Each structure stands twice: as structure tokens, then as C-alpha cells.
Amino acid sequence: MDRILVGLDASPRAAGVLDTAVELARRTGGKLILFRAVGVPHEIPVEAYTMTPTALADLLQRDAQTYLDGLAEKLPAGLVVAAVVAVGTPWQAVCAAADEHHADMIVIGSHGY
């Protein structure tokens, strides 16, 4: 198993999902692709009310990328090959990212927020 796509959503359960993916990668010699799909959340930042839809998407992507980059920094060197954010419906974005990055496995949690 070369590439494992890890769907993360910043929920409290995400840490367990990441731990499971790290253990799978260690056992199989695989590498991780950290992934997060973003859409309009139930609660949006106050500054979003003054933004255009494009600017809001950029803000959400930027925050999600910061989250993934922070997680990647805490993992062993060389374990993460990419940290990717996509705007869209989570299931569609995960499937598209898995295809694009040639993932051999997808690790996700059962629920997010």
C-alpha cells in the first residue's frame, strides 16, 4: 500500500482517524495524503458576512490548509507526501482526491461535526 488518503475534518474524532492512518502507514510502508474538504459550514466566521462567495471559499481553504499543514509538521518526516484542501461536497471531494493522487486506501471517520 503506497498511498493512504486521510480524510480529516477538524472534529474531535479527527485525531483518532489520523492515528489509525499513521499506524497503517507504518505497518505497510505507505505514505499519507492528508485531505480536507470544505464547504459553507454551519457556523461561519464573522468576517464572512462581508465577503464575496469567492473570498469566503478562499478563507475556508486557507484555514483548512493551515490546519493540515500543522498536523503534517507533527508527523514523522517523510510520512506525509501531500496536504490537500478542496472545496466541495465531502464524499465527492474525497473520491476525486483519491483518484487524483492515486490513493490505494482511504481512511475516514464515521462522523464529523
Whole-prediction pTM: 0.85
Query: Taking a C-beta distance cutoff of 8 angstroms, is the pair 81, 28 a contact?
Result: no
Q: How far apart are CA 52 and CA 91, in angstroms?
A: 25
Average pLDDT, the chain: 91
Confidence of residue 42 (pLDDT cuts 50, 70, 90): low
> Could you give the count of Cα atoms lying within 13 Å of 77 in the half-sphere of its Cβ?
0
pLDDT tens digit sequence for 59-95: 889 999 999 999 999 999 999 999 999 988 889 999 9
Question: What is the pLDDT, as a whole number, of residue 80?
Answer: 97
